[in-house]
Protein backbone atom coordinates (compact mmCIF):
# COMPACT_ATOMS: atom_id res chain seq x y z
CA UNK A 1 0.00 0.00 0.00
CA UNK A 2 1.24 3.47 -0.84
CA UNK A 3 2.19 5.72 2.04
CA UNK A 4 0.26 8.96 1.86
CA UNK A 5 2.04 12.24 2.13
CA UNK A 6 0.96 15.25 4.11
CA UNK A 7 -0.66 15.76 7.44
CA UNK A 8 -1.59 12.57 9.32
CA UNK A 9 -5.24 11.83 10.03
CA UNK A 10 -6.23 12.29 13.64
CA UNK A 11 -7.77 9.29 15.37
CA UNK A 12 -11.15 9.73 17.03
CA UNK A 13 -9.65 8.81 20.40
CA UNK A 14 -7.14 11.67 20.26
CA UNK A 15 -9.73 14.09 18.90
CA UNK A 16 -12.31 13.34 21.59
CA UNK A 17 -9.74 13.26 24.40
CA UNK A 18 -8.22 16.63 23.54
CA UNK A 19 -11.49 18.43 22.85
CA UNK A 20 -13.09 17.11 26.03
CA UNK A 21 -10.13 18.12 28.20
CA UNK A 22 -9.99 21.60 26.66
CA UNK A 23 -13.71 22.09 27.35
CA UNK A 24 -13.21 20.78 30.88
CA UNK A 25 -10.27 23.14 31.53
CA UNK A 26 -12.24 26.10 30.15
CA UNK A 27 -14.89 25.62 32.75
CA UNK A 28 -12.72 24.51 35.65
CA UNK A 29 -10.24 27.38 35.42
CA UNK A 30 -12.62 29.90 33.78
CA UNK A 31 -10.33 30.68 30.87
CA UNK A 32 -10.47 30.83 27.09
CA UNK A 33 -10.13 27.65 25.01
CA UNK A 34 -6.70 28.73 23.76
CA UNK A 35 -5.38 29.18 27.30
CA UNK A 36 -6.92 25.83 28.24
CA UNK A 37 -5.08 24.28 25.27
CA UNK A 38 -1.80 25.80 26.50
CA UNK A 39 -2.50 24.37 29.96
CA UNK A 40 -3.18 20.93 28.46
CA UNK A 41 0.15 21.00 26.62
CA UNK A 42 1.92 21.24 29.99
CA UNK A 43 0.19 18.10 31.31
CA UNK A 44 2.51 15.15 31.93
CA UNK A 45 0.47 12.66 29.85
CA UNK A 46 0.13 14.96 26.83
CA UNK A 47 3.38 13.70 25.29
CA UNK A 48 2.09 10.10 25.23
CA UNK A 49 -1.24 11.16 23.77
CA UNK A 50 0.44 13.03 20.92
CA UNK A 51 2.81 10.12 20.23
CA UNK A 52 -0.37 8.10 19.67
CA UNK A 53 -1.34 10.69 17.07
CA UNK A 54 1.96 10.99 15.17
CA UNK A 55 3.06 7.28 15.28
CA UNK A 56 6.17 7.76 13.13
CA UNK A 57 9.90 7.80 13.84
CA UNK A 58 9.81 11.59 14.04
CA UNK A 59 7.07 11.59 16.69
CA UNK A 60 9.44 12.74 19.42
CA UNK A 61 10.62 15.67 17.32
CA UNK A 62 7.08 16.74 16.41
CA UNK A 63 5.79 16.43 19.95
CA UNK A 64 8.72 18.43 21.32
CA UNK A 65 8.14 21.09 18.69
CA UNK A 66 4.42 21.20 19.54
CA UNK A 67 5.12 21.56 23.25
CA UNK A 68 8.03 24.00 23.10
CA UNK A 69 7.28 26.14 20.04
CA UNK A 70 4.53 28.72 20.51
CA UNK A 71 3.75 29.08 16.79
CA UNK A 72 3.34 25.37 16.12
CA UNK A 73 1.05 24.93 19.14
CA UNK A 74 -0.98 27.95 18.02
CA UNK A 75 -1.28 26.56 14.48
CA UNK A 76 -2.34 23.14 15.79
CA UNK A 77 -4.99 24.84 17.91
CA UNK A 78 -6.42 26.88 15.05
CA UNK A 79 -6.28 24.08 12.46
CA UNK A 80 -7.60 21.24 14.61
CA UNK A 81 -8.84 21.93 18.11
CA UNK A 82 -11.04 24.90 17.36
CA UNK A 83 -12.84 22.86 14.70
CA UNK A 84 -13.21 19.82 16.99
CA UNK A 85 -14.66 21.88 19.82
CA UNK A 86 -17.07 23.65 17.49
CA UNK A 87 -18.27 20.27 16.18
CA UNK A 88 -18.88 19.12 19.76
CA UNK A 89 -20.78 22.25 20.84
CA UNK A 90 -22.93 23.18 17.83
CA UNK A 91 -25.18 21.56 15.25
CA UNK A 92 -25.55 17.80 15.45
CA UNK A 93 -22.77 17.65 18.04
CA UNK A 94 -24.99 19.67 20.34
CA UNK A 95 -27.65 16.97 20.20
CA UNK A 96 -25.17 14.16 20.73
CA UNK A 97 -23.19 15.84 23.52
CA UNK A 98 -25.99 17.24 25.70
CA UNK A 99 -24.48 15.73 28.83
CA UNK A 100 -21.14 17.37 28.09
CA UNK A 101 -22.75 20.77 27.64
CA UNK A 102 -24.85 20.44 30.79
CA UNK A 103 -21.70 19.69 32.72
CA UNK A 104 -19.66 22.50 31.08
CA UNK A 105 -22.07 25.28 30.01
CA UNK A 106 -19.50 28.12 29.88
CA UNK A 107 -17.91 26.82 26.69
CA UNK A 108 -20.83 27.99 24.54
CA UNK A 109 -20.03 31.66 25.10
CA UNK A 110 -16.79 31.29 23.11
CA UNK A 111 -18.59 30.02 20.00
CA UNK A 112 -21.56 32.39 19.99
CA UNK A 113 -19.38 35.37 19.07
Report DSSP letters for 56-113, one per residue.
STTHHHHHHHHHH-HHHHHHHIIIIIHHHHHHHHSTHHHHHTHHHHHH-GGGGGGT--
| pTM strictly above 0.75 | no
How many domains does the chain divide into? 1
Does residue 3 fall inside a structural domain? no
Provide the pLDDT confidence category of residue 109 given band limits of 50, 70 and 90. low
Does residue 6 fall inside a structural domain? no
Mean pLDDT confidence for 57-77 = 88
Does residue 69 fall inside a structural domain? yes
Does residue 77 fall inside a structural domain? yes
CB contact at 8 A, 82 and 33 = yes
Provide the pLDDT confidence category of residue 70 given band limits of 50, 70 and 90. very high
Does residue 2 fall inside a structural domain? no
98: pLDDT strictly greater than 90: no
Q: How far apart are CA 66 and CA 60, in angstroms?
A: 10
Q: How far apart are CA 53 and CA 97, in angstroms?
A: 23
Q: Which residue has the higher pLDDT, 112 or 27?
A: 27
Does residue 94 fall inside a structural domain? yes
Q: Which domain does 94 fall in, by range?
A: 12-110
Does residue 91 fall inside a structural domain? yes
Does residue 16 fall inside a structural domain? yes
pLDDT, one tens digit per residue, over 19-48 is 888 888 988 898 888 999 999 999 998 888
**Cα end-to-end distance, the chain, whole Å:** 45
Amino acid sequence: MVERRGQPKVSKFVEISISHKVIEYCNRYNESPFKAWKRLIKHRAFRDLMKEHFKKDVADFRVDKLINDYDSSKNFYYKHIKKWMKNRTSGIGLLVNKDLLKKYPKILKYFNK
